[in-house]
Structure 1
Amino acid sequence: MATDVPREAPSALPRRAPAEETGQDERLSAALVAGDPDALTDAYRRWGTLVHTLATRAIGDAREAEDVTQQVFLAVWRGRAGYRPERGPLVAWIVGITRRKTADALSARTRRGTLAAAAAAVAAPEPSRPEADPESALDRVLVTQALRGLTPVQRDLLCLAFYEDLTQAQIARRTGLPLGTVKSHVRRGLHRLRGSLAPEERPALRTAA
């Protein structure tokens, strides 16, 4: 059963005795593996700050770390059946997922550098080609400028769609993100792009499913 990752700020909890904390962790782990959505909420409240801090330190961008934190807890929920208590506590498993997701984010940052260069090349004037359609060139400039106002993840995915002409399924395979996550980021990104472009100047903005 799908569930939304909670977005409220994790709350600070009072320190507990080791035995009490261990017992609560075991109950939380069991509830999570059993598919209780409340267990995901509790896990986020307990360790969301830790995940965000680790992601921020690795990435150096608190806003991007928020995206990573969401991805981590989505992965926790979707991969809950793979958690093995005998291999370590739940928090250690979550930290391992955090490391993988931050590594993915850093790889995506490298790809964004390449995409940004490609976007700049697309938007640059081409004096040697006077036959180029000026309206199409203007559309590319407007879209490129609007892309700068998106989150890094949204910008990365939409650049793949606009400049490499990839479908959302192809983008999911290229980035390793779940297709549903790609669709969600693309949908929100397109909404923000449409809002940033004046109606009379707005190029056609759509991506293949």
Structure 2
Amino acid sequence: MGPQHSAVRPGPVAGPRTDEELARGLAAGDEECLAAVYQRWSALVHTLAWRSLGDVKEAEDVTQQVFLGVWRGRLGFRPERGTMGGWIVGITRRTIADALSARTRRLHLVAAAGAALHVADPAAHRPDAALDRVLVLSELARLPAPQQRVLRLTYYEDLTQTQIARRTGWPLGTVKSHARRGLHQLRRSLRQGEPADHYT
């Protein structure tokens, strides 16, 4: 079984190894090879993530995810297709893209519902976007449980509606309905300044 998060920051590994040796060791499930791979490329991965995300904590999270991805996908490395460093950079780019997508989805939820605040009061000035976020999250918490679950899975776990249907066991049409009604409720509640109705 693969290492847990705590195993991704291993101690020093004696002696440099070639990419070929590391690839063979990873394929065989040698965690010392994962340690060597981490030591060799983690700084590069973190730098790429930080430059793209602009957030140290998110960059650290991406770095951890990348090397967990290296471990879990170790049998997918093909030396004939390129270097291990290039393979790891590819995983890094995909992980960064996923992080940016998840961030965009979270912001979209706030924008989709929070826009109603400005519709309700066009003269209002809200230079602090955090206020809108707090208000939207407060109203989200008031939604009926099914609607709240669908929106949270969509915007916080970055799942598609098909994936949500599989996760919840609900028909796809039901998931779409909860998503549509949930956003409608958020917009209406924010426009009227009233709590979301508790109906399913």
Question: Are 1:41 and 2:27 an aligned pair?
Answer: no
Q: Deviations over 1:118-160 (max 9, x none)?
A: 67589x8xxxxxxxxxxxxxxxx69947xxxxxxxxxxxxxx9
Identity %: 53
Q: CA deviation at 1:76?
A: 0.7
Map residues 171-186 of structure 1 onto 2, 5 A cutoff: 171=157, 173-174=159-160
Which runs of structure 1 show a deviation greater than 2 angstroms over 4 or more consecutive aligned residues?
A: 5-11, 115-122, 141-145, 160-163, 170-175
Which gives a bigger RCO, structure 1 or 2 (Cα 8 Å, sep 6+)? 2
Question: Are 1:57 and 2:59 an aligned pair?
Answer: no
2:41·2:85 contact (CA, 8 Å) conserved in 1?
A: yes
**Mapped partners of 2:60, 2:53: distance in 1:** 11
Question: Are 1:4 and 2:17 an aligned pair?
Answer: no
Map residues 23-102 of structure 1 onto 2, 5 A cutoff: 24-102=18-96
- Report the TM-score when normalising by structure 2: 0.55
Q: CA deviation at 1:53?
A: 0.4
Q: Which runs of 5+ in 1 are unaligned?
A: 14-19, 125-140, 146-159, 178-209
Q: CA deviation at 1:8?
A: 3.7
- Report the TM-score when normalising by structure 1: 0.52
Q: CA deviation at 1:9?
A: 8.6
Change (3 A) 1:163 1:110: same
**Mapped partners of 2:52, 2:66: distance in 1:** 14
1:161·1:171 contact (CA, 8 Å) conserved in 2?
A: no
Q: Which runs of 5+ in 2 are unaligned?
A: 118-133, 139-146, 164-200
Q: Which residue of 1 is the match for residue 104 of structure 2?
A: 110
2:113·2:136 contact (CA, 8 Å) conserved in 1?
A: no
**Mapped partners of 2:148, 2:87: distance in 1:** 33
1:28·1:43 contact (CA, 8 Å) conserved in 2?
A: yes
Q: Deviations over 1:79-106 (max 9, x none)?
A: 1111001112211100111111111111
Q: Which residue of 2 is the match for residue 164 of structure 1?
A: 151
1:119·1:163 contact (CA, 8 Å) conserved in 2?
A: no
Map residues 121-136 of structure 1 onto 2, 5 A cutoff: none
Change (3 A) 1:119 1:62: farther
Q: CA deviation at 1:33?
A: 1.4
Secondary structure, counterpart of 1:164 in structure 2? helix
- What code does the residue aligned with 1:60 have? G
| Stretch deviating more after TM superposition (77-86 or 34-43) | 34-43
- What code does the residue aligned with 1:106 have? L
Query: Highest Rg: 1 or 2?
Result: 2
